[in-house]
Structure 1
Amino acid sequence: MIDLSIHEEQLERTVQRARERNIIIPTFAQMRDPTLVPDGVKARLKNIGLWDITSPNLFRITWKNEPVAHGGGYNGVNYLELPKSLTGVDTRIIALVGKWFPTGSHKVGATVACLVPRLVTGQFDPTYQKAVWPSTGNYCRGGAYNSTLLACESVAILPEEMSRERFEWLSKVSGEIIATPGCESNVKEIFDKCWELKETREDIVIFNQFDEFGNHLWHYEVTGHAMEEVLQQEMGPQEAYRGVVLTTGSAGTIGCGDYLKEIFPTSKVVASEALQCPT
């Protein structure tokens, strides 16, 4: 379970930092339903780009962003239906679209759900500690992005053979970048570096997506509800929801399947894994 024990002294410093930077943290309810977002925040977003590094973009951690690059508000869930001409089957296949999150990836959701509980309990001190985000790509991008929005220092760890564009983008966001040997298949080397940092540094907190319950929780609470809304909108009276298929990495996104299983008990939750590059 997520540890919610309070550390009063560190929490006081965290609150002071948030006041100084005018940081407001969205709730899960607001990420599910942006109509609950304060009007003042919505007004500020009209002048802010989707990827801009500014704290109001925390309120764009939702599946319901208007699909525009700048100044967008909210609409329904972003999704598409794959045509039969592409799939070759009669079954209707619908997919959520993560392009309209900040950074272009839903990993901003998973990472904010890992970092925020530590902040609001005082378990992470943004005046002293650094958030370490190990991954092959989008998780560390989302973590570094959210860390900056939440006035925290970050360390991104990723394989040296990942794209140049990824490193260039991280250089503008993360306080420190550590490139480990190999490519996206070399996950072990990333965590070897994490163990090294734990042994040599006192000012770090490692957010390992493979053991962070916030990763699963965000998809259960936010992605699952988004999928339910799409089903309510799309399914006809003679149609039935059969299941969700997800390509697993850290088993975070599959949390939405746990939620849907509660709503549709006979449905299936299917996990697929790459043969040549498994995690």
Structure 2
Amino acid sequence: MSLNIIDMASPNYSSRDGALVRWLILHGTAGFETAQQVGTYFGERTSQVSANYCVGTDGVIVRSVPERFAAWGNGVITGPAGIGGDGVHHDAWWDDCPQWGGLPNPNPVTISIEHVKPSTDNSDTLTAAQKNASFALIKDICVRQRIPMRQANSQGGITGHFSMDPVNRSRCPGPYPWDELWAFLKGASTVTPNKWQIADAQKEWQSAASLFGGTAPSYTTGIAQAWAQRVYAGQRLGPPLTAEYDSTDWGGNAIRVQQFANARCEWRTDGSSCRFFDARGEIL
């Protein structure tokens, strides 16, 4: 599905100051009839609020803040820690997020998506066009930003505004087809290769066998599987030049590393992320 995105710039944003985006936060507008109306409101400096995107009931998406900037939609963490969604407690893992790093609010590490809901209590369900556009936008963002395509935890993912602000936003985003979203993303997280792509990837992996005394590194590890998925999708990462080895990232997290001809892979040993880099930075 192609995304129908209209740009309506908002002045209400901040720098991410180098913070890594790890969460997608879904919202409901509790008012307004169209995404363009929301975009106009976000465009007013006096509103002092914004989201990166807003999805209309007709499937039109308005982009108010580019993803490289932090929109002002996610505010602060409220309520005592517990299990979010009860209107009292915020999800306890927000209190122990290594990527959050004690920032005053989560905006620098989140991307926010509003959904037009004319009812002030956010009780509207998504229209078919709105749901399809929302799912496609979420997938697109997650793939590019390497956000885990699952329910959020302390390592990243997708959740609603209620997760962090139960005091003021317990009904945000209101009804949302979460189970359908997870099923959609599960199917979207991998590329189904044909037999020729499978054979070509295996041949490329084995092409470096001479570097390892005639036997290439294992082709069944998590890194190897992630490498194969990217090769199926058309990325040319090159064959492995090393076996996997243990290391740590800049945040002190344990990772497994493997070097390829055109890239380096860093696999978090807790399974929360698998990232590839070249000389220019992360390969999205």
Larger radius of gyration: 2
Q: Which has the higher strand share?
A: 2
TM-score, length-scaled by structure 2 = 0.26
Q: Which has the higher helix share?
A: 1
